[in-house]
Chains A and B, each alone.
Chain A
Amino acid sequence: MQVVLPRIGTVAAWRAEARRLAAAGVLPETVLWSVGEAAPDLFAASPAPRAASVAFRLPRVAVESIETALMHADPERFARAYVLVLRLARQEAIWGDRSDPALHRLLEQEKAVRRDIHQMHGFVRFREVTPPGANRRAFAAWFEPAHHILEAAAPFFARRFGDMDWLIATPTLTARFEAGELEILETANRATPPVDATEDLWRVYFANIFNPARLMVNAMTSHMPRKTWKNLPEAALIPDLIRTAPERVAAMRAAEAAAPGPKLQRRLRAISAQREGR
């Protein structure tokens, strides 16, 4: 039997299907899960061996973890989650038991998805695309998440950027926030938004806030892996910042060593005296 889940609302559709299949006693090995069509009604039933009907109530934390893990890029995730919920319902597995390999994998996938969502919240970079004469400012971003997280990650941006219009396009789906309405669509336009002049100021900040005297490149890349760099305007500076760090340290030391001459000292004193007097 084949179950095709929609690209938008995938997780909710999986949950509805999994309940139906379990109630009908459908064995996990007879189900082929896939994602693709926009309509959720492709429930192509073919006669297959059945087991006893299973109704399940899972603890809320379990449902949350499973639904989060279902955003993982792993193509086997739907089938695995179906097997796991059946085992949990029949009490062949206990929620919270991390020594169960299936549960352990699910929790690891959940963790990877959460990390990806968190990273997306940090690493999206908007560029201004306000059309002339508009009364709301508009911004757009191109982002490539590692997992299928756009729907779960988008409400954060709606809470944060409520007074502007914005759009985040990913290779599959796009989130659009216009006049206060959040929508998820299939991505139509794959072009990165045009360059924004404020990015230059951001790069100036990035280059100067870092302390060249304490290079820790591995610590940086463990949090900001190289694969994320291509959509970060500041990342292009990194190789140069690393390369010139020793020179900058030397220059810093030299500048610090050069105490101001008596002339400058007098001037500084005069300035502060004058300001006190004002």
Chain B
Amino acid sequence: MAPRTLSEKLALLADAAKYDASCASSGGERRQSRDGSGLGSSGGAGICHAWAPDGRCISLLKILLTNFCIYDCAYCINRASSGVARARFTVDEVVTLTVEFYRRNYIEGLFLSSGILRSPDETMAEMVRVARTLREREHFRGYIHLKTIPDAAPELIAAAGKWADRLSINVELPTETALTRLAPEKSLRTIHGAMAEVKARGEAAKDCTARGTRAPRFAPAGQSTQMIIGADPATDGQILRRSARLYGDFALRRVYYSAFSPIPDAARTLPLIRPPLMREHRLYQADWLMRNYGFAADEITPETAMLDLEIDPKLAWALAHRALFPLDLNRAPRELLLRVPGLGPRSVARILAARRYRSLRYEDLKAIGCVIGKAEPFISLPGWSPRALPDAENLRARFAPPPEQLSLF
């Protein structure tokens, strides 16, 4: 077989990376190259350079170093026993693609992951070599995210953190039982061990010691992880509790959720139906409530339950706590305002700012930027008071989409 061209490899290894949900390039160190000593800048909000027809932002060159893999994770298209076409980049090919794309302002940087070629250590070492070459030879100051292989030696994880902005280690599945069954070569202990390692090194790099010396730079944009949804019977309640623990124990910046794509395979007992994309969406919304709105996992859904697919989790919470509403917009504290459907952190900040000068009226709601139709049943202020809150079922019906629309998912 003729060797694959760069373009063919790019097609295969970008295609293989498309299941990774993360494309974030924000946070981390402020760097720039105004003085001509290098290429690139980073820090602050990430930039989307394009949008794909799947509605996702393209911000990084997201590719696999190789999709050859000696492991056999049942949910993965690159597993050893899969019939997928294989390819492998050299270190220099990845470096060149990154730099040339970057110079043309197509991307913010590189998100590199890989199947496991030969051994976890060898593969990880090659990924580190890519990052190091970019930094040392190309003086590249853009964003680098490396997907770390949990079984790799701690020295390699340390080296990865030296060159990368962000590291991620995928927990893959919500429960240990599922991991053992579907990813026989992986273990939860190793995954958590690697996450703890990344957390500890990141913290060390931030603290100065008593003598004023600093531990080496380490992944300033922190770590993230991804969980596959719908390949095992875990409930949304279990998943959210798992995420809450991951945020707490390992100081993760983000947990990404990826709806499982069915891969028919008689040898394993994987479901043949793809979970609705809406489930993934609701999990992201619930995750967002935990991170930005002060919700605890317990408040969002019981451990054994699934999220409501028809209405968002914040609305579901408000409907379950109708006694709290309507809230007086001119008096309610910030924490409670944040619980009103249709009000986000920004509109709440505006309400608080405006309240300092005068009392708010219904006519002001538009300027505040809240979703009026959604908020109305839950608030009161001069010019507006909702009639007695209708019973929960009616209110739910007002927001839930008509049933036939569900076939879209």
Residues of A at under 8 Å CB distance from B? 94, 96-99, 104, 118, 121-128, 137, 139, 141, 156-164, 180, 196, 198-202, 204-221, 223-224, 232, 234, 238, 241-242, 245, 255-261, 264-265, 268, 272, 275-276, 278
List B contacts of A242 (CB < 8 A). Answer: 53
Confirm or deny: B35 has a beta carbon within 8 angstroms of a beta carbon on chain A. yes
Q: Which of B333-371 contact A (CB under 8 A)?
A: 350, 353-354, 357, 363-364, 367-368
Known: A98-B354, A160-B33, A162-B39. A139 touches B53 (CB 8 A): no
Q: Is the CB of A204 within 8 A of B103?
A: no
Closest to A159 in B: B32
Interface hub of A137, A196, A208, A220 (most chain B Cβ within 10 A): A208
Asked whether A159 and B33 contact (CB < 8 A) given A125-B105, A201-B7, the answer is: yes
Name 14 A/B residue pairs within 8 A (Cβ), A-sorted.
Answer: A98-B364, A158-B34, A160-B32, A160-B41, A162-B35, A163-B39, A180-B36, A210-B52, A210-B53, A211-B54, A214-B277, A219-B55, A245-B53, A256-B84
Number of A-B residue pairs at CB separation under 8 A? 193
Q: Is the interface of A mostly helix, strand, loop or mixed?
A: helix
Which of B12, B54, B264 contacts A257 (CB under 8 A)?
B264
* CB-based contact A123/B49 at 8 Å: yes
Q: How far is the CA of A215 from the CA of B54 in the complex (A)?
A: 4
Contacts A208-B14, A213-B261, A238-B53 aside, 5 further interface pairs with beta carbons under 8 A come to A97-B354, A163-B139, A208-B10, A217-B55, A219-B55
For residue B62, CB closer than 8 A to chain A, the reply is: yes
Question: B residues within 8 A CB of A275?
Answer: 70, 117-118
- A198 to B55, Cβ gap below 8 A? no
Main secondary structure of the interface of B (DSSP, over half): loop
Q: In this assembly, does B101 line the interface, its C-beta being within 8 Å of a C-beta of chain A?
A: yes
Q: CB-nearest residue of chain A relative to B139?
A: A163
* Mask of B44-88 contacts with A, CB within 8 angstroms, 1/0: 000111111111111001100000001000000100111110000
Q: How far is the CB of A164 from chain B (nearest CB, A)?
A: 6
B213, CB-defined interface residue at 8 Å? no
**Chain B residue contacts of A118, Cβ below 8 A:** 47
Is B357's CB under 8 angstroms from A97's CB? Answer: yes
Query: Is there an interface contact between A206 and B84, defined as CB atoms closer than 8 Å?
Result: no
Rounded to whole Å, the gap between the CB of B134 and the closest CB of chain A is 14
Asked if B208 is at the interface (CB within 8 A of a chain A CB), the reply is no
